[in-house]
Amino acid sequence: MRPTVRLGRIAHIEIGLHWSVLAIMLLFTWSLADVTLPDLAPAYTTAVYWLAAAAAVVVLFSCLLAHEVAHSVVARRRGVPVDRITLWLLGGVSQLHGEAQTPADELHIAAAGPLTSLVLGAGFGVFAVAVASVGGPALAVATLGWLGALNVILAAFNLLPGAPLDGGRLLHARVWRRTGDRAAATASATRAGARVGYTLVGIGVAFVLLGDIAAVWFVLLGWFLVTAAHAEATAALLVGALANVRVRDVMTEHPVTVPIHTSVSALVEEWFMHHDCSAFPVVDERGSVAGLVTLAKVRSIDRSRWDRLDVADVADARATVAAARPDEAITALLERMSTAVGGAGRALVFDGDELVGIVSPRDVQRAVSLASLRSPGVAGRPDTNSVPA
């Protein structure tokens, strides 16, 4: 998941917010200011409730960030690079660039988040009791107690035994250690994640039918878990099928290029209409690759502008397109392709400075189809590489 807003870096890890965080923060603030805090600490003004609620929600998302930073710091100490942390609607995701090398590494990485949340929850609870014992404001006690409870709930929820939750990572580590089979561990964790998700959906639907509209959160969380578990299982099968495949085995060699100052009209008539390609590398006057122009990008432009625009005006810059070497694993390239801003899911392949190929989604799909014809023993045993809150 790519962040909508970048907040900066913590411990050299990029921190970002997805736009959905703003929606959930507003919902939490409204619920806290309008219902929860007035029930726990009556007799304050509406403005005070809203100020306390806004402050509490900001602190809560700081706690979510601490949960993710804990995952990331332990991951880096265990030799797994971390690309970024993104906070979103249902918590946060630490994007790990690689896999835990041993079950013990995975166990420590997965446990770090819930342990951090439990410590924070206990801390806020102790603080609330201390403020109450000295006769502090009831609103402060209620706010601190709410923060403590939410952190404990966050830890408990994440410890449910199913991928992609932290409890699913712990289950994966246990099965991996017991069997020595990473692929079997992934299958067990994703099946468990789907079961947990369906259970939450069922609980939510039952409570909604009984009149508790707030239980729709169980449905939302459950459906997220089911979807994420199935996606993780599919990704594991994909990476396993391509475990021994190199970029050179997949790429289309010696792709047709287009000069950077070609008009869009000429691009359509002389390139797209005459070649079975949906993208062309763009070269400058010196023959160096400057970017990639795609059919989808051209189709988004009004036809009346085609004669006035050059390829340079519509191409994705080279820096935004995933790049690869012919001898590297296709699985490593797939990670970069999934996060690249430009190229619409394609990658340029270079041998030194020379462009030698291009990898498209169609090329990857063909490689997967061919891999499915091989014997089951050829597939690798990959693991997932993201840790949600």
Sign of CA dihedral 333, 98, 92, 9: negative
Q: Residue 165's closest CA among 92, 56, 64?
A: 92
Active-site option among 68, 232, 270, 285: 68
Mean pLDDT, residues 302-323 taken together? 93
Q: How confident is the model at residue 113 (pLDDT cuts 50, 70, 90)?
A: very high
CA distance 244 to 25: 44
Predicted pLDDT at 383: 37
DSSP state of 251: S
Contact status, residue 82 vs residue 89, Cβ threshold 8 Å: no
Distance from chain centroid for Cα 223: 16
- The mean pLDDT of the chain is 87
Average pLDDT (308-334) is 92
pLDDT at 205 over 60: yes
Residue 372's pLDDT is what? 65
The yes-or-no answer on residue 68 being catalytic is yes
At 162-200, the pLDDT tens digits run 888 899 999 999 999 999 988 889 889 999 999 999 999
In this predicted structure, which of 16-20, 23-27, 91-95 has the lowest mean pLDDT?
91-95
CB 347 within 8 A of CB 267: no
Q: How many CB atoms lie within 10 A of CB 319?
A: 11
Contact 269/234 with Cβ under 8 angstroms?
no
Q: Are 343 and 322 in contact (CB under 8 A)?
A: yes
Helices 138-158 & 46-77 angle (0-180, nearest 10): 40
C-alpha 177/C-alpha 172 separation (Å) is 8
Instruction: Name 316's bridge partners.
Output: 292
pLDDT band, residue 245 (cuts 50/70/90): confident
Is the pLDDT assigned to residue 3 strictly greater than 70? no
pLDDT of residue 370: 78
**Best CA proximity match to 295, nearest among 308, 319, 276, 309:** 276
State the pLDDT at residue 381: 36
- Each residue of 142-173: b (16+ CB within 10 Å) or e? bbbbbbbebbbebbebbbbbbbbbbbbbbbbb
From the CB of residue 350, how many other CB atoms can be counted at a distance below 10 Å?
15
Ramachandran category for residue 153: left, alpha or beta (phi over 0 → left; psi -120 to 50 → alpha): alpha
Q: Is the pLDDT of residue 14 over 60?
A: yes
Q: How far is CA 210 from CA 4, 24, 162, 200, in A?
A: 37, 25, 27, 15
